[in-house]
Structure 1
Amino acid sequence: MKILLGSLLAIVSLAWGMDVVATGGSNGGTLPWVIRQEALYLSGLLSISLMSLAMFLSTRPAWLETPLGGMDRVYLTHKWAGILGVSFAVVHWLVEEVVGDILKAMIGREGRIPKEQFTGFLEVMRDLAKDMGEWAFYLVLAMLVITLWKRFPYKTWRVVHQAMPVLYLMLALHAAMLAPTDYWTQPVGILIALLGTAGIYGALYSLVGRIGRARRASGTVTAIEQPAPDVLTVTCQLDNNWRGHRPGQFAFITFDEKEGAHPFTIASADRGNRSVSFQIKALGDYTRTLGKRLEVGHAVKVEGPYGRFDMARQDSSAQQIWIAGGIGVTPFLAWLDSLQQTPSKVSADLHYCTRDRTNDPFVARLEANCAALPGIRLHIHGAQQGETLSAADVAAAQNGSRRSEIWFCGPQGLAEKLKQELGRIGQGRFRFHQEAFEMR
C-alpha cells in the first residue's frame, strides 16, 4: 500500500515538475504569485490522482489481490487514497481561497499571473466545472468526516458513500476543464488522462451496479446456531455461481438489500458442495440484531471469495506460529477444518486469546480439531484466568535460530503490542502476516 501510494505521489510530482521546467513556471507573474499558482496546480493534481485511484480500487479488482496482498489490502489502499485525496483537496482549497487573500493583503494584485482567456462553450464549461468542483469539495470533506467518525451508523454511511461516484465525476470535470492548456502537450496531461479514465471507469462501473457481480452467488440459509450470546453461526447453501474458496478467505454477504453487503471470514473448509458457514460476532447494531431477523430458508447473496490469508502461502522452511484473538479465530477454524480432510505434516503453534476460556464457544471445537492433528500445538489464553498472551510466549515456541512466520487475526491493539515486543526480542526472525480487515 505504502509503495503504491508513494509511487503515485512521486510520479505525479515528477510530471508536474517537468511541466514547470518546460514552461518556465512564471507565466508573467512575480515569484509569490507563481509559487501560489504552482502550489494550486500540484495540490489539485495530487488530489484528483489519489481520488482516481480510490475510485478504481472501489471496483474490487481481484487481479490486484496478488500484488497488493489481498482484497483487504486493496480496500485499505482505497481508504487511504481517498483520505489523502480529500486532504490534498483541502490544501488546494486553502491555497485558492486563503493564500490568495493573504497575498492580496500583503503585496496587492500586482504581479498576479494573468488568467487564460476562453470564450463561448469553453468559457461556460469552465465556469460550470469551477462551481461543481467547489460543491463537490464540501461534500467529500463532509464524507471524510463521517467516514472517520466511527460512531456514525454504518447503514447511513453506506448510503452517503454511494454518492461518491457522482462527486468524483464532478471533480474530474473540474480537474480536466481547469487544468492549464499547456498540460495537454506535456507528460502531466497524459497522466491526468490515464488516471481520469481509470477513475471514470470506476465511477460508472459503480453507478450501474456492476461491482462484484461476476463473483456473486445466490443461496439460502440452511442452519442458524447461537453458540454464545454474542456469536451467531450461519450456514448457507449457494448456487452454481459459487466458485469455491480457500481456507482463510472472506466474502461479502447480503442478508438484506437495504443493509447492503458486509464482509465476514468463511469459517468452514471447501468440501465441493457449495456450503459455507460464517461465525458472526455482535459488534454493531446490524450484527447484534441479525439473529432475530434471520431464519432457515432466508435468501442470501454471497460475493467472493477474496483474501490472501491462505495456508498455501505459508513458508514451509519457517516455523509456523498462528495467533487468533476473539472472533479472529474464524480463518483458523477453516484451516483446521481443511486439515481434517487432507491430513498433512503441517506443524504449528496455535495461540487462541479469549476473555474467558471456560465459557468460550470455540475452545471445545479447537481442542477437538487439534486433537486429530498431532502437528498443531494448541495454547488457550483466557484473560479472566490470567493467561494473557505475551511476546515471550510466542518466542518460546521458536526453535533456535530458525525463522518464524506469524499468522495473526484479531484485535489491532494486540497485533501492535506483539509486533513491538517481538521487534525488540526477535532480531528480525519473525515475519508477521495480518489481514487489514477494517473496511471503513
Structure 2
Amino acid sequence: MKNITRIYFGTLLGLSALWLAVNPDIFAVQDFVGFRNLMVQYSGFLAFGMMSLILFLSIRPVWLTRRLGGLDKAYRLHKWLGITVLVVATMHWAWRMAPKWAVALELLEPRRRGPRPDGAGMHWAQSLFLEYRGLAESIGEWAFYSAVALILVALIKCIPYRWFAKTHTVLAVIYLALVFHSIVLLDFTNWATPVGWALAVMVLVGSVSAILVLLGQIGAGRRSTGEVVEVDYLPEMQSLQISIKSDGGWKGHRAGQFAFVRFGNSNEPHPFTIASAWQDGVSGLTIIAKKLGDYTNTLYETLKPGDPVALEGPYGTFTLQRDQSHQIWISGGIGLTPFVAWLEDLVANPMRREIDFYQVAPHCDGKLMARIKDLSARAGVRLHEWRDARDGFLTGERLRGDIAHWQKAGVWFCGPSGFGQAIKDDLVAAGLPSRAFHQELFDFR
C-alpha cells in the first residue's frame, strides 16, 4: 500500500508543484475572472495528467505493476485516480461555468467581449488553436459529461459487471477527445515551459495506451487458450471448481497468482485466483469461481467440459515466500484459493518452515476440505479450521493468544477487505511491523 500511496500523492503534488512553479502569478492575481482562468488551466492540467496515468495503468505495464506490489495494487491506484479525476474534473467544469453563474446571480457584471484576434503577429500554432477553440470547448464539455457517467458506472458496484466491462473501454475514446481539448486550450505561453513539455509526454503516453486499449491489445503477450476438463459444484461454498487444460500456450505460474479467464463465447474476461500449483509437464490449472454476480451465476448453469477457455496471465505477487521461518496464513471464505495452491507447491517442493493456516469460513465443502486437510498434513502446515458459528469471529487478539512469537511472523491474508483490515490494525497496534502484513486487494471495481 505504501507504494501506491506514494505514487498517488506524488502524481497529485508533482503536477501541482510543476504548474504552480510555472504560473506563480496565480498568487498575485486580484480580479475574479483572472483567478478563474488560472484555476481552469490548473484543474484541467491536473485532471488530464491523472487520466493519462489511468490509461497507462490500464495496459498493465509489467515493470510498474511489480513496483506497486502486483496488479491488485495497480487497480487500487487506478480506482483512487478515477475518483480524484471525477472530483477535479468537476472542479474544472465548475470554474469554467463560474462567471455565467455569477452573472446570473448578479454577483458579477456582464463583460463585453472585445473583437476576436485576427491572428496577425501570432505563432502559426497559436492562430490554429484559436480557430479551433470553440470546438475544443464543446468537445471538452460533452467529454466531461460522458466521463462522469462512465466513472460512476465503474464505481457503483450494484451496476452489473457486464455493463461496466462494456462501457469502461469507451473512456479511452473520451481520453482521445480530451487530448484535442487539452492541446488547443492550454495557455499557449505554457507550451514553451515544463508544463507544456509534461503535457506533451502525457499526451504521447496516454494516447498510445488508449489506442492499445481500443485495439484490444492489453495483455496480448500473455494470452493462451485451452478447454474446460471438469466442472465440480461445491454447494456448501456456492462455488464451482473448474479444471482447465491448456493447449500448451500457458507457460506456468507461481502459486498464488491469478489469471483473467474468459469462457465460451463470452467477451468478458474475469479475474480468478489459480487454486493449483504449476507442475512441469502438466499443462493444466484449476480455479474456484464463487457465485457472486450475474456472470458467475450463469457459469453454474452453462459451463460444461469441452467448452473453450481464453486465458491471460499470470498476474499477481501474492505468492508463496520461502525465506520466512514463521508464517501465518489467514483465508476468509473464497480467499482460500491462493493458499490451496501454496499447499500444493509445498507438497511438491518441501521446505522446513513453521506455518499456521487459519481457514476461516461459515462452512466449507467437504470434498475441498478433505483436500486441504490432506495437503496441510503432507506439507507440515498446522491447519486451524475456524467456523464462525462454533469458534466466534477470528480477531487479532485471539490470533495473538493462539500463536507464540507472532510478532516475528509474516502474516498473509486473503479474504474480505474489512476482515483483513481489522486483523491488521490489531496486530500492528500490538507490535507487528506493518510491512509484515500482506493482503491481496482482489477488487477490480
When the two structures are superposed, what TM-score results if normalisation uses the length of structure 2?
A: 0.91
* Distance across 2 between alignment mates of 1:408 and 1:103: 56
Give the Å deviation of 1:204.
Answer: 0.4
Which of 364, 371, 374 is residue 368 of structure 1 equivalent to?
374
Task: Give the gaps of 5 or more residues in structure 1.
Answer: none
| 1:98 lines up with 2:98 in the alignment | yes
Q: Counterparts in 2 of 1:5-404, with a 5 A limit?
A: 5-21=8-24, 24-25=25-26, 30-98=30-98, 101-102=101-102, 105-109=106-110, 121-228=128-235, 230-272=238-280, 273-312=282-321, 315-316=323-324, 319-356=326-363, 361-374=367-380, 376-400=381-405, 402-404=407-409
Would the aligned equivalents of 1:395 and 1:426 in 2 still touch at CA under 8 Å? no
Segment drifting more, 263-272 vs 283-292:
283-292
Segment drifting more, 118-127 vs 405-414:
118-127
Indicate how the Cα distance of structure 1 residues 310 and 99 shifts in structure 2: closer, same or farther if over 3 A, else same: farther
Give the Å deviation of 1:71.
Answer: 0.9
Would the aligned equivalents of 2:129 and 2:185 in 1 still touch at CA under 8 Å? no
Would the aligned equivalents of 1:155 and 1:259 in 2 still touch at CA under 8 Å? no
* Distance across 1 between alignment mates of 2:216 and 2:185: 30
Give the Å deviation of 1:231.
Answer: 1.1
1:435: which partner in 2? 440
Indicate how the Cα distance of structure 1 residues 4 and 401 shifts in structure 2: closer, same or farther if over 3 A, else same: same
* Distance across 2 between alignment mates of 1:404 and 1:266: 25
Give the Å deviation of 1:127.
Answer: 2.0
Give 1:407's aligned amino acid.
W
Give the Å deviation of 1:69.
Answer: 0.2
Secondary structure, counterpart of 1:222 in structure 2: strand
Give the Å deviation of 1:32.
Answer: 2.2
Q: Percent identity?
A: 34
Q: Deviations over 1:290-311 (max 9, x none)?
A: 0221111111001000000011
Give the Å deviation of 1:241.
Answer: 2.1
Give the Å deviation of 1:78.
Answer: 1.6
2:413: which partner in 1? 408
* Distance across 2 between alignment mates of 1:387 and 1:432: 23
Q: Deviations over 1:179-211 (max 9, x none)?
A: 000111110111111112111011001111111
Secondary structure, counterpart of 2:132 in structure 1: helix
Secondary structure, counterpart of 2:243 in structure 1: strand
When the two structures are superposed, what TM-score results if normalisation uses the length of structure 1?
A: 0.92
* Distance across 2 between alignment mates of 1:202 and 1:44: 20
Segment drifting more, 151-160 vs 423-432:
423-432
Secondary structure, counterpart of 2:436 in structure 1: strand
Segment drifting more, 294-303 vs 361-370:
361-370
Indicate how the Cα distance of structure 1 residues 25 and 33 shifts in structure 2: closer, same or farther if over 3 A, else same: same
Q: Deviations over 1:1-46 (max 9, x none)?
A: 111111111111111112213xx4599x743222222211111111
Q: Which 4+ stretches in 1 moved above 6 angstroms?
A: 110-117
* Distance across 1 between alignment mates of 2:135 and 2:113: 23
Q: Deviations over 1:229-274 (max 9, x none)?
A: 6110111111232121000000000014444100000000001222
* Distance across 2 between alignment mates of 1:18 and 1:109: 32
2:425: which partner in 1? 420
Give 1:287's aligned amino acid.
T
Indicate how the Cα distance of structure 1 residues 125 and 361 shifts in structure 2: closer, same or farther if over 3 A, else same: farther
Indicate how the Cα distance of structure 1 residues 116 and 293 shifts in structure 2: closer, same or farther if over 3 A, else same: farther
Segment drifting more, 332-341 vs 394-403:
394-403
Cα RMSD after superposing both structures? 2.5
* Distance across 2 between alignment mates of 1:401 and 1:297: 47
Give 2:109's aligned amino acid.
G
* Distance across 2 between alignment mates of 1:64 and 1:49: 17
Q: Deviations over 1:51-90 (max 9, x none)?
A: 1100111111122222100011111212221221122100
Give the Å deviation of 1:429.
Answer: 7.1
2:123: which partner in 1? none
Would the aligned equivalents of 2:257 and 2:314 in 1 still touch at CA under 8 Å? yes
Secondary structure, counterpart of 2:383 in structure 1: strand
Task: Give the gaps of 5 or more residues in structure 2.
Answer: 120-125
Q: Deviations over 1:143-201 (max 9, x none)?
A: 12222211111112211112111011011211111000011111011111111211101
* Distance across 1 between alignment mates of 2:113 and 2:420: 53
Indicate how the Cα distance of structure 1 residues 373 and 16 shifts in structure 2: closer, same or farther if over 3 A, else same: same
* Distance across 1 between alignment mates of 2:221 and 2:134: 40
Give the Å deviation of 1:282.
Answer: 0.6
* Distance across 2 between alignment mates of 1:45 and 1:63: 26
Indicate how the Cα distance of structure 1 residues 427 and 206 shifts in structure 2: closer, same or farther if over 3 A, else same: closer
Give the Å deviation of 1:114.
Answer: 11
Indicate how the Cα distance of structure 1 residues 364 and 186 shifts in structure 2: closer, same or farther if over 3 A, else same: same
Would the aligned equivalents of 2:225 and 2:310 in 1 still touch at CA under 8 Å? yes
* Distance across 1 between alignment mates of 2:153 and 2:137: 25
Indicate how the Cα distance of structure 1 residues 155 and 116 shifts in structure 2: closer, same or farther if over 3 A, else same: farther
Secondary structure, counterpart of 1:204 in structure 2: helix
Give 1:6's aligned amino acid.
F
Q: Deviations over 1:312-348 (max 9, x none)?
A: 3x6525x311100010000000000111111111221
* Distance across 1 between alignment mates of 2:243 and 2:288: 9
Give the Å deviation of 1:422.
Answer: 2.1
Would the aligned equivalents of 1:65 and 1:74 in 2 still touch at CA under 8 Å? yes
